[in-house]
Structure 1
Amino acid sequence: MTTAPGTVLVVEDEPSIADVLAIALRFHHFEVMIAGTVREALSLAGRTLPHARTGSRGGTPIDVALLDVMLPDGDGRALGRELRAQRPDLALVFLTARDAPAEIVGALGFGDDYITKPFDIDVVVARITAVLRRTRPADVLPQRPPLRYGDLELDETTYSVHRAGRTVELTPTEYALLRFLVRNGGRIVPKEQLLRHVWQYEHTPPESTVVETYISYLRRKLDALGPPVITTRRGVGYGLA
Structure 2
Amino acid sequence: MIPQILVVEDEDALSTLLQYNLEKEGYAVRLSADGEDALVQVDERLPDLIVLDWMLPKISGIEVCRRLRSRTDTRNVPIVMLTARGEESDRIRGLDTGADDYVIKPFSMTELTARLRAVLRRIRPGLAEDRVHHGDIIVDRVAHRVKRAGREIHLGPTEFRLLDYLIQHPGRVFSREQLLDSVWGSDVYVEARTVDVHIGRLRKALNRDEETDPIRTVRSAGYSLEAEG
- Counterparts of 1:69-80 in structure 2, within 5 Å, are 69-80=54-65
Match of 2:174 in 1: none
Match of 1:24 in 2: 21
Match of 1:128 among 98, 103, 116: 116
Q: Which amino acid aligns with 2:77?
A: L
How many angstroms does 1:140 deviate by?
A: 4.4
RMSD: 1.9
Q: Does 1:142 align with 2:127?
A: no
Q: Which amino acid aligns with 1:95?
A: L
Distance of 1:100 and 1:7 partners within structure 2: 30
* Structure 1 runs, 4 residues or longer, greater than 4 Å off: none
Gaps of 5+ in 2: 127-131, 137-169, 171-229
Distance of 1:133 and 1:140 partners within structure 2: 14
Q: Does 1:96 align with 2:83?
A: yes
Q: Does 1:43 align with 2:36?
A: no
Compute the TM-score of the two structures, normalised by the length of structure 2: 0.53
How many angstroms does 1:23 deviate by?
A: 0.5
Q: Which amino acid aligns with 1:104?
A: R
Gaps of 5+ in 1: 49-60, 144-157, 159-241
Distance of 1:142 and 1:122 partners within structure 2: 35
Distance of 1:105 and 1:43 partners within structure 2: 27
Q: Which amino acid aligns with 2:13?
A: S
Q: Does 1:111 align with 2:99?
A: yes
Aligned length: 130
- Counterparts of 1:160-171 in structure 2, within 5 Å, are none
Deviation per CA, 1:189-216: give whole Å up to 9, x if none.
xxxxxxxxxxxxxxxxxxxxxxxxxxxx
Distance of 1:83 and 1:8 partners within structure 2: 15
How many angstroms does 1:74 deviate by?
A: 2.1
Q: Which amino acid aligns with 1:92?
A: I
Match of 1:82 in 2: 67
Q: % of aligned pairs identical?
A: 33
Q: Which amino acid aligns with 1:39?
A: E
How many angstroms does 1:142 deviate by?
A: 3.2
Deviation per CA, 1:150-174: give whole Å up to 9, x if none.
xxxxxxxx8xxxxxxxxxxxxxxxx
Distance of 2:6 and 2:31 partners within structure 1: 6
